[in-house]
Amino acid sequence: MFINIGKSKWMKLILFITTFAFVGTAFVALIIYKFSGNIQGVAQVNGKDIPMAEFFYQVTLITRQMENQGIDTAPLKKQIYADAIRNVIDQELLFQEAQKEGLEATKEEVKRYLLDIDAFKENGKFSKSRYLAFLSQVNITPSFFEEILRKELSIRHLLTIHKVGFYLSDDEINTYINKQISKITGEFVLIKPPEYRPTKKEIKEYYKKNIEKFSGKKGKLIVIYQINIKELGSENAQKKAQQIYRKLKNNQQISEEKGVKKIFEDVVYNDEIKIPEKLKKEIKNLSKDKRILLVSEDDSYYLIKYKKDVSQPLPIEKVKDKIISKLKKEKSEKSVQKLYKEIKDIIKQEKNLKNIAVNYRAKIKKIKAETVQSVGTEYGISQEDLGKIVKSKKGQIIGPFKTPSGILIGKISKIEPPEKERKEEMEKLLKPILLETKYRTLVQMLIDKLKESSEIIINRRLLQ
């Protein structure tokens, strides 16, 4: 059943293009899910656990793909984890839908597909040694990999059914090509909002309000208790250390008493603190995952507890330019929105482009036989607005269009459709790309629809 669908080479196989390609990278998308620290797997989808092994396999694939592109993955752990979580959830949603539709791949299909993977062949025949070498490289078992293949084949069956009747209309192709290479002649006016310069007071207020965003030197807030062995005796000191350890673990208050003394409670930024050298070394091992350490010396026990990470804020002078840029951006977005509404009302009454330009002290730029795409690139116009320009009526004011630097309006006097040969050349080049883009959008819409009707819980521990 559908056994020849989507046969792939090595990289296509291990990257799982049928599901991988439809996933974005925005970590914020995870907020639509519920979170729990009590589930054993990476997530639950409609009551079914997704095993950790599947998650870490995805992490390996994503990491290797990025490293092959020359990307340093060390600082991207959170992003990689978020992408891997979303991948396995999307795959599980599609797999469950395939099961509902009776499209689940059989064990025999998986076996035939596995034996036919080129990456595992030697001299045209399946090589067990190559197969096992691959499994060893990605650190998974044969049964787990075959389960992944079963999901993958089932999803391909489902997507093949959804692809029936899927096509790209002539109108869609023509509209896209016209937005790229139609030539226009006319006039444009870019109206910019007044330049905004934040005051010293505004900069200072923003700094105080968002001081946590300007972290500089990082440290750890810790507390250290000393249990004096000489004063208490070896046996009593050991018992007291055990008692304090349990209290620290349960966040209970510790009282100073005979032989017990709090010797340090502060933020540690570096090694410049007056405590024994052995303790300084151990502090480096403290983290959210390892909060309490017991250090033994000849004359004392030391219990060190990590409370939280602390960032020492950078001085306002060092982040001033960053604050100004941020304030300007925020103000510009509001000003552009206000200007957009204002101009939208004006062009309902005023039909003379020159009068509008004079009123806003803006310059009229004349263009002659330039492609729509080049105009869009120059001003930063969206694809949707480019379509409006192509479909505009000659002699009428078009817009307003939002751009990164202001509001654009114009008047088109001539629109020249693409030359036949050029259009045919573009169609041949773009049709496969547009088809793939539309298909990805279709699959993403299916995934989004399944998410809306599903119960999804994510293991919050993976995102900490």
Decide: 19 and 148 in contact? Cβ < 8 Å. no
Q: Which residue has the higher pLDDT, 263 or 34?
A: 263
Predicted local confidence at residue 272, as pLDDT: 65
Query: What is the per-residue pLDDT across 20-62, written as a single tens digit (0 to 9) for each?
Result: 333 333 333 333 456 665 677 889 999 999 999 899 889 988 9
Which has the closest alpha carbon to 358: 189, 229, 176?
189
Over range 97-105, report the average pLDDT: 93
72: left (phi over 0), alpha (psi -120 to 50) or beta: beta
Which has the closest alpha carbon to 246: 197, 195, 294?
294
Predicted local confidence at residue 11, as pLDDT: 35
Query: What is the per-residue pLDDT across 390-411, written as a single tens digit (0 to 9) for each?
Result: 888 888 899 999 998 899 999 9
Q: Kindly tell me if the per-residue pLDDT of 240 is higher than 80.
A: yes
Distance between CA atoms of residues 52 and 42, nearest Å: 5
Decide: 452 and 71 in contact? Cβ < 8 Å. no
At 341, the pLDDT band (50, 70, 90 cuts) reads very high
Element (H, E) at 145: helix 142-163
Distance between CA atoms of residues 258 and 256, nearest Å: 7
Distance between CA atoms of residues 184 and 367, nearest Å: 8
Over range 173-189, report the average pLDDT: 86
420-454 burial code (b ≥16 CB/10 A, e <16): eeebeebbeebeeebeeeebeeebeebbeebbeeb
Which residues are registered as beta bridge partners of 306?
222
Coil, strand, or helix at residue 164?
Answer: coil
Q: 384 exposed, middle or buried (CB, 10 Å; 0-12, 13-18, 19+)?
A: exposed
Which has the closest alpha carbon to 65: 21, 26, 30?
21
Query: What is the per-residue pLDDT across 413-440, written as a single tens digit (0 to 9) for each?
Result: 998 888 888 888 888 888 888 888 888 8
Distance between CA atoms of residues 441 and 426, nearest Å: 22
- Beta-strand runs (E) in 348-451: 364-371, 397-403, 406-416
Which has the closest alpha carbon to 261: 231, 286, 239?
231
CA atoms within 13 A on the CB side of 445: 7
Element (H, E) at 140: none
Coil, strand, or helix at residue 202?
Answer: helix
Predicted local confidence at residue 32, as pLDDT: 46
* Average pLDDT of the residues of the chain: 84
Residues with Cβ within 8 Å of residue 136, at least 6 apart in sequence: none
- Phi, psi (deg, nearest 5) at residue 242: -65, -40
At 359, the pLDDT band (50, 70, 90 cuts) reads very high
Measured at the alpha carbon of residue 422, what is the angle toward residues 420 and 427, in degrees to the nearest 5? 95
Angle between helices 316-349 and 200-209 (to 10 degrees): 110
Over range 5-21, report the average pLDDT: 36
Query: What is the per-residue pLDDT across 109-122, written as a single tens digit (0 to 9) for each?
Result: 999 999 999 889 99
Predicted local confidence at residue 37, as pLDDT: 55
At 270, the pLDDT band (50, 70, 90 cuts) reads low
Query: What is the per-residue pLDDT across 194-222, written as a single tens digit (0 to 9) for each?
Result: 888 899 999 999 988 888 777 777 788 88
Place of tokens 């509902």: 100
Does the N-terminal peptide bond of residue 276 adopt cis geometry, omega within 30 degrees of 0?
Answer: no
Predicted local confidence at residue 137, as pLDDT: 82
Which has the closest alpha carbon to 87: 1, 14, 137, 10?
14
Angle between helices 383-390 and 372-379 (to 10 degrees): 140
Predicted local confidence at residue 185, as pLDDT: 93
Distance between CA atoms of residues 416 and 413, nearest Å: 10
Predicted local confidence at residue 17, as pLDDT: 32
DSSP character at residue 184: E
Decide: 283 and 220 in contact? Cβ < 8 Å. yes
Predicted local confidence at residue 4, as pLDDT: 36
Tokens standing for 37?
């620290």
CA distances from 212 to 31, 311, 312, 463, 464 (A): 22, 8, 9, 20, 18
CA atoms within 13 A on the CB side of 82: 15
Coil, strand, or helix at residue 91?
Answer: helix
Distance between CA atoms of residues 312 and 216, nearest Å: 5
Range with the lowest mean pLDDT among 129-143, 192-206, 278-292?
Answer: 278-292
Q: 387 exposed, middle or buried (CB, 10 Å; 0-12, 13-18, 19+)?
A: middle
